[in-house]
Amino acid sequence: MQRTAIYPGSFDPVTNGHLDIIERGRKLFDNIIITILHNPNKQFTFTIEERMEMIESCIKKYPDVKADFYNGLLVDYAKSQKAQAILRGIRAVSDFEYEFQMALMNRRLNRDIQTVSLMTGLRWIFTSSSIIKEAAKFGGDISGMVPPLVEQKLKDKFSENTAKG
């Protein structure tokens, strides 16, 4: 039986921390589907199409990883893909409560799907898409935290916004 995991998130944008989870997840699962879902608590910088394009450029080298988006419940999407697991990364203790809550809710919604949480690599413990965007917005150096294409997209996005006033 093929073991499939959904790696869900906002990916606004994808970071090297996300890619680390994907690489490690590949050792546990036969297939990984990176799925962009809606997080009602967030405002997005990039459109779904832009986020998909960035993810796809990063996963070209992995035949067992694909990207998708879904507008609805994560567990419904996981079931439609016959996935056994939801893969998530956990950084500092501050992530834990939210991740725990989400894992328990998802389990309540569908007991057949298990959440597998990987502790983030030490290098990525204090990085997040939001903090990287904030640094990029004010011209900070974010190289090494995101793939080069994403770094360029962030620069373009924020210079576009500055030009618009």
**Residues contributing to the site for ligand PNS (CB under 6 A):** 8-10, 37-39, 42, 73-74, 102, 105-106
| Cβ closest to ligand PNS, residue 130 vs residue 161 | 130
| CB 96, min distance to ligand PNS, A | 13
| CB 41, min distance to ligand PNS, A | 7
Comparing CA positions, the residue from 85, 65, 66, 67 lying closest to residue 75 is 85
| CB 133, min distance to ligand PNS, A | 13
Give the pair of three-digit tokens for residue 161. 């916004």
Comparing CA positions, the residue from 153, 154, 144 lying closest to residue 121 is 144
Could you tell me how many helices (H) and strands (E) the chain has, helices first? 6, 5
Which strands make up the sheet holding 65-69, listed edge to edge? 65-69, 31-36, 4-9, 85-90, 114-119
| Cβ closest to ligand PNS, residue 8 vs residue 13 | 8
| Cβ closest to ligand PNS, residue 31 vs residue 129 | 129
Catalytic residues: 18, 42, 91, 129
